[in-house]
């Protein structure tokens, strides 16, 4: 009986597996085009953006018939597939574009992108090679461009690029500039039938740099900075933790700053490497963070003595800058997540860290107030309730102006 159920299990697993792999194969070599006249000798499942490229190369007249299929789109998307005869990817690409035109029909047209035009809206225009036949269709959330291309003489191997985005009216809008939308290129040889997915594989070193950038910044700005603030705010209320909290706080923020500046540098490098792709919000918040972080280092070096008349203002300044850094860091980390588009578990892990910090604050904040209030009550006879603190230390957090930390 046990064996029987095992073999049932195994065979159903096998069926599912075969079914899944055959439906996968359906998507490429065995895919049946609605019009049975269309058939192609070669098919390649492109590595990203739900795309497939079918083609037949005719040596006699050096033409290639292609069908570029993009699944999972709607009629408010545009799709494009392009050859790039140069060394670039998007810049200089000779595009075949399909979208739903003003009469509601799916239309295919050609659009050359100049070598400088990152802001292209894919205007119609002639390509650098002839495209004797071209049409497009849309069925079952799948858009297909069919075309015959007269290949430039003497070569069959090119960089190809594919993309999609939203249409506003009948004008293609800029595509997403992160994740798979930046990996959708590779090289293709129509004669030999080979293709290399450069964008998703050898783009590895760039991906690695982006990951390093992400890790450095999440650890520094996203974890160490708030941790250091929590240490300062909640540890100093314990008499025994004085002045240890101060050194812990400084150590934590200083290492966060050093790692953070390294992370910031990798961000500048990534920015300068990806010409034409701008993540303005992320970049501007990043620059602000660097400025604020640096100001905090100066604040440490230039802080007045606790009894100095300007110390009150210094405290306000230090707190405001510090809290701004924490809030901006968290915002920018989520900005970064949406650009880098890592596996969901990384975002979840960071949300977990934030929930942990939130729980610490929720528990320690009332407790701190309780301790400070109680101490106030006991020390009404000794007005300088925080006399026990060493000179450089801020006051504990507390319930009123006297002990709220602006008054060390």
Ligand X SMILES: *[C@@H]1O[C@H](CO)[C@@H](O)[C@H](O)[C@H]1NC(C)=O
Per CB under 6 A, residues contacting ligand X are 58, 60-61, 63, 101-103, 105, 107, 132, 148
> Whole-angstrom Cα distance, residue 177 to residue 335?
13
Does residue 282 have a known ligand-binding role? yes
Distances (CA, A) of 96 to 77, 130, 160: 14, 12, 11
63 vs 159, beta carbon nearer ligand X: 63
Instruction: Render the burial of 301-318: b for 16+ CB within 10 Å, e for the rest.
Output: eebeebeeeebeebbeeb
- Supply the minimum distance, in Å, between the C-beta of residue 135 and ligand X: 7
Per the CB < 8 A criterion, the answer to whether 160 and 66 are in contact is no
Pairing of the two strands 133-139 and 106-112: unpaired
Does residue 58 have a known ligand-binding role? no
* Secondary structure element (H or E) that encloses residue 67, with its range: strand 63-71
- Supply the minimum distance, in Å, between the C-beta of residue 55 and ligand X: 13
- Supply the minimum distance, in Å, between the C-beta of residue 93 and ligand X: 22
> Whole-angstrom Cα distance, residue 284 to residue 265?
14
102 vs 272, beta carbon nearer ligand X: 102
- Supply the minimum distance, in Å, between the C-beta of residue 134 and ligand X: 9
What residues contact residue 178 under an 8 Å CB cut-off, 6+ apart? 279, 338, 339, 340, 341
> Whole-angstrom Cα distance, residue 210 to residue 337?
11
58 vs 392, beta carbon nearer ligand X: 58
- Supply the minimum distance, in Å, between the C-beta of residue 65 and ligand X: 8
144 vs 371, beta carbon nearer ligand X: 144
- Supply the minimum distance, in Å, between the C-beta of residue 129 and ligand X: 12
Q: Output the six-digit token pair for 368.
A: 């701190």
Handedness of CA 299, 300, 303, 306 (dihedral sign): positive
108 vs 396, beta carbon nearer ligand X: 108
148 vs 178, beta carbon nearer ligand X: 148
Instruction: Render the burial of 159-181: b for 16+ CB within 10 Å, e for the rest.
Output: bbbbbbbebeeeebeebeebeeb
- Supply the minimum distance, in Å, between the C-beta of residue 342 and ligand X: 40
132 vs 383, beta carbon nearer ligand X: 132
Q: What is the 3-state secondary structure (H, E, C) of 185-238?
A: EEEEECCCCEEECCCCCCCHHHHHHHHHHHHHHHHHHHHHHHHHHHHHHHHCCC
* Secondary structure element (H or E) that encloses residue 84, with its range: strand 77-84
Give the annotated binding-site residues for heme b: 213, 249, 282, 318
Give the annotated binding-site residues: 213, 249, 282, 318
């Amino acid at each position: 009986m046990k064996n029987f159920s095992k073999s049932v299990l195994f065979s159903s697993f096998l069926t599912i597996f075969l079914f899944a792999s055959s439906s996968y194969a359906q998507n490429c070599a065995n895919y049946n085009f609605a019009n049975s006249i269309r058939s192609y000798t070669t098919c390649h499942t492109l590595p990203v953006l739900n795309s497939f490229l079918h083609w037949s190369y005719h040596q006699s007249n050096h033409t290639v018939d292609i069908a570029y299929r993009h699944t999972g789109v709607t009629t408010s998307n545009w799709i494009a597939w392009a050859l790039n005869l140069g060394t670039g990817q998007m810049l200089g690409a000779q595009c075949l574009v399909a979208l739903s035109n003003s009469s509601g029909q799916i239309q295919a047209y050609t659009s050359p992108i100049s070598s400088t035009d990152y802001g292209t809206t894919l205007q119609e225009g002639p390509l650098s090679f002839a495209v004797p036949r071209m049409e497009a269709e849309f069925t079952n959330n799948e858009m297909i461009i069919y075309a015959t291309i007269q290949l430039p003489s003497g070569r069959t191997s090119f960089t190809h690029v594919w993309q999609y985005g939203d249409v506003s009216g009948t004008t293609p809008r800029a595509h997403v500039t992160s994740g798979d939308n930046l990996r959708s290129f590779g090289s293709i040889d129509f004669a030999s039938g080979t293709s290399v997915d450069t964008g998703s594989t050898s783009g590895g070193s760039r991906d690695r740099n982006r990951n390093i950038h992400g890790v450095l910044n999440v650890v520094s700005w996203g974890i160490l900075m708030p941790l250091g603030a929590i240490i300062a705010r909640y540890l100093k209320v314990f008499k025994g933790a004085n002045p240890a909290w101060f050194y812990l706080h400084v150590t934590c923020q200083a290492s966060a700053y050093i790692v953070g500046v390294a992370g910031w540098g990798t961000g500048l490098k990534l920015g300068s490497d990806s010409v034409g792709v701008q993540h303005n919000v992320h970049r501007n918040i990043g620059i602000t963070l660097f400025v604020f972080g640096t100001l905090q280092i100066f604040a440490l070096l230039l802080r007045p003595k606790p009894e100095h008349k300007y110390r009150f203002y210094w405290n306000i300044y230090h707190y405001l800058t510090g809290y701004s850094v924490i809030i901006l860091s968290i915002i920018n980390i989520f900005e970064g997540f949406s650009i880098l588009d890592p596996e969901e578990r990384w975002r979840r892990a960071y949300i977990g860290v934030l929930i942990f910090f939130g729980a610490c604050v929720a528990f320690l904040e009332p407790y701190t107030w309780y301790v400070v209030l109680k101490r106030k009550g006991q020390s009404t006879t000794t007005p300088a309730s925080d006399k026990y603190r060493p000179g450089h230390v801020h006051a504990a957090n507390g319930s009123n102006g006297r002990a709220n930390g602006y008054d060390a």
